[in-house]
Amino acid sequence: MVLVALIPASGAFGVLRVLRVLRVLRLLSAVRSMRRVVSALAATIPGMVSIGALLVMLVYVAGVMSTQMFGRVDPENFGDLPTSLLSLFQVMTGDDWANIVRPATDAYPAAWLFFIGYILVSTYIVLNLFIAVAVEALEMQKEEDRREIVDEVEESERVVVDAVAELRAEVAALRADLARQRP
């Protein structure tokens, strides 16, 4: 990067100088608590992928259902599968969901059951699963750190006990030497 900065006409390679900002990531290795959080988050990846796959299946099934149930009534939001998936994603995130749901509930008064069930499952249950996986990983990381600290303390205690035993042996040897030297 330094060489690129020294070249007067570095042009497109000058963008590489921006990568110096990544030096901030060295904090991850320097600060113990940040390192713990990042390693816990890395440990959550398999669980998050599974939950994400579950969410994709849920949204897909709900998208097919909503396209079939509400496609004729509200083609703007549920006319085809991609539009339904986008509308359901918007409902899941809570972004102006009432305006998406209103045409379907006006045409079918019981449509609110579908949408409330979808919101409850997609938003609250799946979100809580994400949070549960993250919290579990943080707890496991905390327990591993606790075990490491206990191991370090036990090792330090062993070193101190060994040093005390050596000192007692030396003191006993010195006392024996003193006792032999006295008449």
What ranges in 12-44 are assigned the alpha helix state H?
27-30, 32-43
Q: Where in the chain is the domain with CATH 1.10.287.70?
A: 40-154
| Model confidence at 102: pLDDT above 90 | yes
Residue pair 77/87 in contact by the 8 Å Cβ criterion: yes
Taking the C-alpha atoms of residue 77 and residue 115, their distance in angstroms, rounded to an integer, is 13
Answer whether 0.75 is exceeded by the pTM.
no
Residue 137's pLDDT band (cuts 50, 70, 90): confident
Chosen CATH of 40-154 out of 1.10.287.70, 3.40.50.720, 3.40.50.2300, 3.40.50.970: 1.10.287.70
